[in-house]
Amino acid sequence: MFLLRSTARQILTTTRLQIRRAHFIGYNPQVRVSKFQYYPPLNVPTHHGLNAWALERSTFLIRNSKSIPGEVRAGLLRVQELIASKQNSLAIAHFLKMLGQQPLSLYGIVTSTDLAIWMFVHANDMHSAIIVLNEIVEHGIPILVTTLMTLSRGGNHDPRHKEQVRNAFLGSLADLNELAFVGLMRCLQYLDATDELVFAFETYRSLKPADWISAPAVYSIIIRGFSRTNDMVNARVWLDKYRESLRKMDTLSKSKPVTTSKFDRSVAWKTELDNAKRFSPDRHMNEAFPYQVYLYGLFNTSKPQLDELQTVVTQMKEDNIRFGRVFCNNLIGLYRHWQLYPQVIAGYTAMLESPSHIFPDARTYDHMFRMMTRIARFATEKSDRTGFSYGLHLRTVFREMITIDTARLSIVTGKIRDEVVSRQNLSQALKAFTDGRDYPAALVVLQFLKKYDYIPDQTIKSGITAALGPETLEHINLKKLHGK
C-alpha cells in the first residue's frame, strides 16, 4: 500500500546497539504487537474532526518532536489539516506515503505513527487509527507504549478495543528490560487494570532469575492501583511484599563483599536504570516511594488510621528507610487532612530540627498556612490576633519560611534545592493573616506577592483598608501595579 518496506528493512538491519538504544528511552518503551481487529460500534460514529483543544495539542506535539526532521513535521501538520477537515482517507494515504518517502530512524517512525494515531483517535476515527497501526505492525516495526495508551480510548467505541490494548501490554513483557517494564507498568495503571498489574508483575518475575528483585517504583505502582480503588487491604499486602524484597536485597548484599552499605541495595536496579540518564534514578530507586504511596492512600479512608500510620512509620525505621522531604510532607498533609493539628506542628518542627537537613519546602508551608487559616477562622476575639492555639504563631511560621528561602540560595547551606516560597503558599499565608485579622502582617505578605502580579480580592483589600487606612495599599503601589 505504501513504500515503507525498504525503509523498514534498512532500519531492522541496523546494529544491535542502535536498536537497543532506540528500544527504550525513558518511560515510553517500544513494544511489538500483533495486528488489531477493528470492531465497528452498533451506532455509526460521527467523525467530528479535531476540536480546538486537539488542534492546539497536536500542533504542540508535532512542532516539539525533535526526533523527526522538519519535512516530516510539515507532513504531519498536513495530516492534521486533512483530519480537521474530515478528509480522513486522504490523511491516511498522505501519512503512509510520507513514511515511505522520508528517510527516518526507527524512533522517528514510531514517533510519527504515535502522533498520527493520536490525531485519528481524537477525531473519533478508530477505524483509521487501526489501519495505520496495522500497516506499521505488518512491516515488523514496534510501536510506543503511549500509542497503546491512545488506542485504549477506543474502549468508549467498543470495549474489545481496550481488551486488545491490555493483551498487547501483557504480550510484550518478555522483550522488556527493567526500565521499560517500569514504563509499561506506569501506563498499565491508567487503564484501571489492577489485576493486570499484578499479573504483569508475576509474569515478568517468572521470566527473570530467582534472585531478581524489582525496583521500588513497580511496587509503588501496584500499591497505588489498589489504593485508587480504596482497596487498602491489598495495598497493605503489596507493601509487605516490598518489605520482603528489601530483606531479600539485604541478604544478597551480605553474600557479596562489594555490597556493604545500605545504599548498595540499589545495585540490583542500577544497571538497567542507568541507561536512561535524563531521568533521575531517585524516581525509580527511592526506597521510600512505596511507603509514600501507601501513606497517600490513607487519605481516602473514612476515619483516621493512626495505628496503621504509626505501624508504617515504625516499619520504615526497622527497614532503615530515610525519611525524606516528600514523605514528611505527605505525613504532615495526612495529619492536616485528619485535623490532627498538634501532630502537624510536631512534624513541621521535626523537619526544622532534622539532623539530616530535611528542611520544609513550598508544599510544607502550603500545608501549614492552610491549617492555620482554618484555625484562624475559629479564633475568638479574646485570642491573641498574631498567635493561635497549639503553641504556634503564624508570624513565626512565615518568618521561618522567608529565612529558609533566603538560606537555600546560600553557598554555605547548599542543602535546599526545592522551592520554598511560592505564589500559592504566599496567597494562603495572606488568607490566614486576614482571617486572623492580623492586617499589618497581611500587608507584608502583599509586598512579597507583588512580584507574582497577585491581585488581592475585595475582601482582603477592604479589611486592610479598614484597619490600616486607604493610603496603605497605595503605599505599596498596588493600584499602580494593577492599573487601578
Q: What span, in angstroms and rounded, lies between the C-alpha atoms of 219 and 43?
A: 41
Grid cell of 41 as nine digits: 460500534
Least confident among 208-212, 257-261, 384-388: 257-261
Output 276 or 419, whichever has higher pLDDT.
419
- Look at the chain and report how many structural domains it folds into: 2
Does 287 fall in a domain?
no
Model pLDDT, residue 417: 61
Q: Counting beta carbons within 10 angstroms of the beta carbon of residue 386, is it exposed (0 to 12), middle (13 to 18) or buried (19 or more)?
A: middle
- End-of-domain residue from the set 128, 159, 175: 175
Least confident among 182-196, 240-254, 298-312, 378-392: 378-392
**CB of 288 closer than 8 Å to CB of 324:** yes
pLDDT at 410 over 80: no
- What angle, 0 to 180 degrees and rounded to 10, lies between the N-to-C axes of helices 52-63 and 70-84? 170
pLDDT at 284 over 60: no
Does 410 fall in a domain?
yes
pLDDT at 61 over 70: yes
Question: What pLDDT band is residue 144 in, cutting at 50, 70 and 90?
Answer: confident
Does 256 fall in a domain?
no
Does 310 fall in a domain?
no
Model pLDDT, residue 258: 40
Question: What pLDDT band is residue 256 in, cutting at 50, 70 and 90?
Answer: low
Quick one: which of 170, 179, 234 has its CA closest to 204? Answer: 170
Place of cell 525519611: 323
**CB of 121 closer than 8 Å to CB of 38:** no
Model pLDDT, residue 23: 34
pLDDT at 159 over 70: yes
**Vertex 181: Cα angle to 200 and 194 (nearest 5):** 35
Does 303 fall in a domain?
no
The overall pTM is greater than 0.75: no
Place of cell 503553641: 391
Query: What mean pLDDT is reported for the chain?
Result: 77
Does 456 fall in a domain?
yes
Question: What pLDDT band is residue 35 in, cutting at 50, 70 and 90?
Answer: very high
Provide the residue range defining the domain that includes 449: 351-484
Question: What pLDDT band is residue 262 in, cutting at 50, 70 and 90?
Answer: very low
- End-of-domain residue from the set 131, 152, 175: 175
Does 141 fall in a domain?
yes
Output 396 or 41, whichever has higher pLDDT.
396
The β-bridge partners of 143 are: 31
User: Each residue of 380-399: pLDDT tens digit?
Assistant: 445 544 445 567 888 999 99
Mean pLDDT, rounded, for 265-283:
38
Question: What pLDDT band is residue 469 in, cutting at 50, 70 and 90?
Answer: low
pLDDT at 236 over 90: yes
- End-of-domain residue from the set 137, 153, 175: 175
Does 23 fall in a domain?
yes
